[in-house]
A and B are shown apart, each in its own frame.
Chain A
């Protein structure tokens, strides 16, 4: 194809005609469809952005503020704080504003504010649908959480317990894990790799649970294998009933 300047004048293509629609005030009132849809023809070579007036700047700031409220984790990515992301916004993006999770407080603060603060959530285990196991601090989640509480899943071979299982037929919450570590297992050994901030789409979550060391719970019933088996069976039956 020849450049435009090399072609004779007769062979040069005419400037692109763009049909624009503009609302024109009419004497018949604002509901006059004929005047509103009347096309005007104009040659357009370049599309330049409109100058930013004060009103437009204010409107943009408001829109950006609304977006940042709806998607706080994304701002982390924009500032380069995020390390990795799993399956972010494949279909429709995040669904609702996230709920922030308070960080774990020191013991003295816990006693002082225990009646006024929500329950502190610490390190969590998340098992994804592709089998990956992530350990991280739960920082936020959205409102579509539908998890079944199950006390223990023994086959995981971890030192933690008190898990929640995502029901496959119900929507589950998107999660944000901070300071995440991926752990892999093979027989009786394991290995860890730090993966940073993780934004997990809810439908990929199979299992979610807070990590509680058994050794810190001397009276915990989960040390008794019979109790574990019974509670596991009960919770499975309860899930089937629903």
Chain B
């Protein structure tokens, strides 16, 4: 009887370990080695898909071509962030809106833009590129990065442009 219990426990443990190993190998997007080198527009990074994040949204299959932004301004996640900061500083709300996924752009209201302008003046923007995580979603490459140490923001490559899936510059939880 005791031997049977031991055997059952061993089998259960083995099953769990096997499950975890399989699960890990199937979902671990891992850190993105190209994140620090800012070479994302180059050869696609082969990464398994990860579950959709809780807050950011999923992009549509294609984006409307932005009318005013030079594609080079969105050529990598880092370039997009720099562009967003420049547009915030310059008060360019319409162009700023184009740095986000199309389905998110309606959320970039005048109030949101003003709140973002204020927020980036309050807190240094220092995305944690070193620990950014690469994945794919809806056929797009995605790089997810923590902008302030907390929530992750995904940058989705859509038609050669890296668009943000969250209005990361809005203050969270205040009050």
Binding partners A and B: no
Interface residues of A (CB under 8 A from B): none
